[in-house]
Amino acid sequence: MHINEQLRAEILRNVAASLSEDIGTGDLTAQLIPADRNARGRVVTRESAILCGTEWFTATFAALEPDCTVVWHAKDGDRVESGELLCDVLASARSLLTAERTALNFLQLLSATATTTRAYVDAVAGTKAKIVDTRKTLPGLRLAQKYAVAIGGGTNHRVGLYDGILIKENHIISAGSIAKAVDAAKAIAPSNVFIEVEVENLVELREALAAGVKMILLDNMSLDAMREAVKMSAGKAELEASGGVDLEAVRAIAEIGVDRISIGRLTKDVRAIDLSLRHTER
């Protein structure tokens, strides 16, 4: 995913909301520092990671001080090692102090998402399976986290409820059957919107295939059931495995021959990367 105009606007929205949340009516503590004092900040990583979020970080400082300078020594997608210098920030001491927590929050979170994703992508290397994200993202940061998944080598699923149709158990119950739900979906889906059906067993898989579904999600199936699903599908539909997938299990699932493996923990269970921002006068 590139920084297009939509994402650039989203970055500015994310930054504005986060700064407003943090600063409120003003940074009282930063006022302890003379307004005319300048400073340099240096961001260092304390652990190995896939760097991500540089645009959010830079935009945070620019929102407070448009003339500040952020010099990056690595770019999004680079693997950085413990102790490595990531960037230098030249700004007024007050701006540096006020923006640093928000800027680091973005960088730590998005680097964590990219790093987690890369671990899963590496785990399935050599198979045809793609690692796919979900809608289990932090509220207000969906595009940011989906960008981080892409930076980590993963594949983005639908962004929201508007750009894809995923028919789940409750949709099927309300519609009356898989066939009826699929027919209803075909009647309303624009040509650029995919239709996917979630199935929990091989009987439902057979129904979905009979209805002509081209994307099928295998929900919490055993390895043996997924093997049989791959045989039954025989390439007639793209198969996506989902449900409680972790690093220990992902390789075995990929080797079965599914096309995609969707993993909620890429975005919902991430642990922030440990970064440090130190100040010096300039």
Q: Which residues are catalytic?
A: 101, 136, 168, 198, 219
Nearest Cα neighbor of 105 from 149, 67, 49, 60 is 60
> What are the C-alpha distances in Å from 163 to residues 13, 33, 191, 192, 243?
21, 49, 11, 8, 22
DSSP string of 57-112, one letter each residue = HHHHHHHH-TT-EEEESS-TT-EE-TT-EEEEEEEEHHHHHHHHHHHHHHHHHHHH
Contact 165, 191 (CB under 8 A): no
For helices 54-64 and 5-23, what crossing angle results, to 10°?
A: 60
Query: 277 has which bridge partners?
Result: 43
The bridge status of strand 38-45 relative to strand 275-281 is: antiparallel
> Angle CA(192)–CA(195)–CA(199) in degrees, nearest 5?
165
> Which pair of structure tokens corresponds to residue 240?
């996506």
Give alpha helix (H) positions in the chain.
Answer: 5-23, 54-64, 93-123, 142-151, 169-175, 178-188, 202-210, 223-233, 247-256, 265-268
